[in-house]
Amino acid sequence: MSFRAIPITIGTGISFFIDSCLRRNDNKRVTKMSNPFYNIEEYILNHSDKEDPILAELNRETNLKTLRPRMLSGHLQGKILEMISKMINPERILELGTYTGYSAICLAKGLKKNGILHTIEINDELENIIRKYFTKAQIENKVKLHFGDARNIIPEINEQFDLVFIDADKREYIEYFNIVFDYVKSGGFILADNVLWSGKVIDLESPDDEYTKGIFEFNEFIKNDNRVEKVILPLRDGLMLIRKK
């Protein structure tokens, strides 16, 4: 008995992909009665490392104290960001869009011994929670937190990066990419989050939504940019992996 080979996409936004994964070749629905892992996300998390207790605490506090906690990367995506960072073992990381610091903590786990992660957040009301968890995670000496618009701050940092994570305003992705490009080493990586935007990128009926338009145009722009290699991981809300040639 095997499952159909189809893309597995995790996340509330595009759950119809998950639903397809729960149908077997014989088209019988897998239920809790026949399988303890009713949900493919449950299965994946059950067979992956547990969420770091400090990240779990940050996840909880973000849900209690902020207005849009869904913006936080979360357990599965956080683990994948950590793994990617460990594979690259970067000396310099740049993150656009810190929010409460979840993804920064995950990415920092892959830094070289004396490596530094720069993270930029426009909303300075988040400072207390970010700094609290950078200290708990013992990365405060490896992280430089900047407040302001990433588009202004990237040139001020003026360093060369091995890894960049774009996760700020979806309407500004092309601008971020263009600004950051010269600061990425040849062979370096840019990760862009939310590139499937709850599946709206294939919904031609909503072209006037600025966020969808931003992501849609970014994806087209990267597709046609021959200076980079690219692939979209159908993870959560879509994670684009881009490598500068």
Ligand X SMILES: C[S@@+](CC[C@H](N)C(=O)[O-])C[C@H]1O[C@@H](n2cnc3c(N)ncnc32)[C@H](O)[C@@H]1O
Q: What residues make contact with ligand X under the rule CB under 6 A?
A: 71-73, 96-97, 99, 102-103, 120-123, 149-151, 167-169, 172
**Cβ closest to ligand X, residue 72 vs residue 201:** 72
**Cβ closest to ligand X, residue 116 vs residue 192:** 192
Least spacing, CB of residue 164 vs ligand X, in Å = 12
Least spacing, CB of residue 120 vs ligand X, in Å = 5
**Cβ closest to ligand X, residue 6 vs residue 221:** 221
Least spacing, CB of residue 100 vs ligand X, in Å = 6
- Residue 29 β-bridge partners: 23
Least spacing, CB of residue 40 vs ligand X, in Å = 22
**Cβ closest to ligand X, residue 80 vs residue 168:** 168
Q: Which of helix, strand or coil describes residue 166? A: strand
- Check: CB of residue 107 under 8 Å from CB of residue 83: no
Instruction: Give the single-character DSSP code of 62.
Output: H
CB atoms within 10 A of CB 107: 28
Least spacing, CB of residue 124 vs ligand X, in Å = 10
Cα 132 to chain centroid distance, Å, stands at 21
The residue with its CB nearest to ligand X is 97
Q: Which of helix, strand or coil describes residue 199? A: helix
Least spacing, CB of residue 160 vs ligand X, in Å = 20
- Check: CB of residue 22 under 8 Å from CB of residue 29: yes
User: In this structure, what token pair is assigned to residue 241?
Assistant: 């992996």
**Cβ closest to ligand X, residue 23 vs residue 213:** 213
Residue that is written with structure tokens 């992909």 in the block: 17
Q: Measure the N-to-C terminal CA separation of the chain; round to a whole number of Å.
A: 42
**Cβ closest to ligand X, residue 21 vs residue 146:** 146
Name residues whose C-beta falls within 8 Å of residue 11's C-beta, 6 or more positions apart in sequence: 235, 236, 237
Q: What's the CA angle centered on 111, arms 146 and 95, to 5 degrees?
A: 30
Beta strands 228-233 and 239-244 are antiparallel
